[in-house]
Each structure stands twice: as C-alpha cells, then as structure tokens.
Homo-oligomer: A and B are copies of this chain.
Amino acid sequence: MTTTQLYSEIVKKKSFLSIGLDVDLDKIPPHLLQAEDPIFEFNKAIIDATHNLAVAYKPNTAFFEAYGIKGWHSLEKTIAYINQNHPEIFTIADAKRGDIGNTSAMYAKAFLQDLNFDSVTVAPYMGKDSVEPFLAMQDKFTILLALTSNSGAFDFQTKDAGGKELYKQVLETSKTWQNSQNLMYVVGATKAEYFTEIRKIIPDSFILVPGVGAQGGSLEDVCRYGMNDKVGLLVNSSRGIIYASKGEDFAEKAREEALKMQQQMAHILG
C-alpha cells in the first residue's frame, strides 16, 4: 500500500482509527474459548464488526507469541483474513523488532514479505543498519519508535542527547537513512504536547499514535498538535475497543466504541 492510498481511505471512511488486536485469552468472552482457535475467532468477529470504521489493524505480536505455535497460527490466519477480505486496510505488525543487519533482514522477510503486513514497528536503539533492511522493502513501511506512550519513555527518550532530546535525534538521524520515505513513527498520545516540536522535524510523515483510551491520551490534543494537511495520523485504540464487553455482544460493543472514535474523528476532519 502507498500513503496516497492510505490517505484516500482516511478521507473515504472519515476515520484515521487503528484498532489494536492484543488478544489475551483471559480477557475475551468465555464462550469463545470453546472454539478451535479462540484468538482468530475473536479477531475475525472484531474485524467483521469494525472494518468500515477503521483504516488500520495492529496485531501486537507479543499476544500471539505468548501462545506459542497456536498463537503464531492465529496471527497468520488473522493477517490473511484481513488481506483477503479487506485489502484496503493498512496492516501493522506491532513487533518492535531491531537487530544487526542480516538479522533485521530476517524479521523484514517474516513480517513484510511472508506474513505480508503493510508495516512493522521497529526499535531504533541499534541504529541505521538495524533499520535499513526493513526500509528496503518497496511499498512497505517501517514505523520507528520515537516517543512512546509509557512512563519509561522518560528514562532515555527525552534525555538530552548531544544538544537535543534522544527522540529528536532519532527523528532527525532516521531521515538520512536509505529509503527513509518508507518511515513512519510511533509517538504516544500521552505525550500530545510534544507533537508541535515533532512536526517541525517530520512535517509529512505518518505518525502511529498509541495511548488513546486505556492509557489516557486525548484524541483532541493529538489532532490539535499532530495533524498535517494529509492527516498524517493513525490513532490506535486496543483495549478500549476490543474489550468493551465480555459477553456474546462483544463485537457489537466493540463496534459501538469504534463508532464513537470514528465520529469524533469525522468531526475533527470535517
């Protein structure tokens, strides 16, 4: 997918909502546990109920790996289901990988080629040669961690690093890497006041924004400071949508929560 196609979907759906598929068997409706693949059944129902309200789905790989081979199988089925039935949806493997060059190339193959996600989240700590193998994949996107939504973001990311904060150093340095046009960035909604500064460095890039909902970030603030003339935001909610109900109505309730967010987004876009 290209960013032009993504923008066109945002305009069409009046939504820049990403839904996080972080499926914990302890939190899904108990009646699904009888299914052969409860994680996939849960995801399928969520996707069926919300796909016209969201422009992206973001499965977090941790929640699949926690169930071993069964979990990996659920991940394969989930991404295949989206790609087959909703090819217009932007897919994000929230994997936060990053390793030396030949190893990052293996992760890029796994997520962007074999599983065929449109994008993957990557940690910047190991620098250029750990990220460029992901960037080399055409029409695929590497979503680099810049300023994350958690409290630990203040441990290192906001520390002054050579005259500017580390996350700014990450933003600026990453722009010099090969195929940097394939970069997007993670900036947490809980850090909305930082968006103005961030937009000075990366005015045109898409930013994936976790932390609205369960983590407490404000959609209005994120949009006020972070939106650009092509929207440039994918605002993610995971737990606030997918765990709206633990009953048989879970998909319907998830749709209601997604609709609330989509309506707020339509209002902002309007």
Contact = CB atoms under 8 A, between A and B. Distances in A.
Contacts of A148: 100, 125-126
Contact of A63 (B106, B124, B159): B106
Contacts of A215: 100
Interface stretch (A45-53, A65-73, A252-260): A65-73
Contact of A62 (B22, B104, B156, B161): B104
A32 to B, nearest CB: 19
A170 B157 CA distance: 11
Interface of A: 22, 24, 60, 62-63, 65-66, 68-69, 72-73, 76, 94, 96-101, 103-104, 106-107, 109-110, 114-115, 123-131, 145, 148-157, 159-162, 166, 169-170, 173, 215
Contacts of A65: 106-107, 110
A160 B162 CA distance: 5
B62 A72 contact: no
Contacts of A161: 156, 159-162, 166
A153 B98 CA distance: 12
B62 A68 contact: no
Contact of A128 (B103, B126, B127, B152): B152
Contacts of A129: 150-152
A72 B63 contact: no
A66 B106 contact: yes
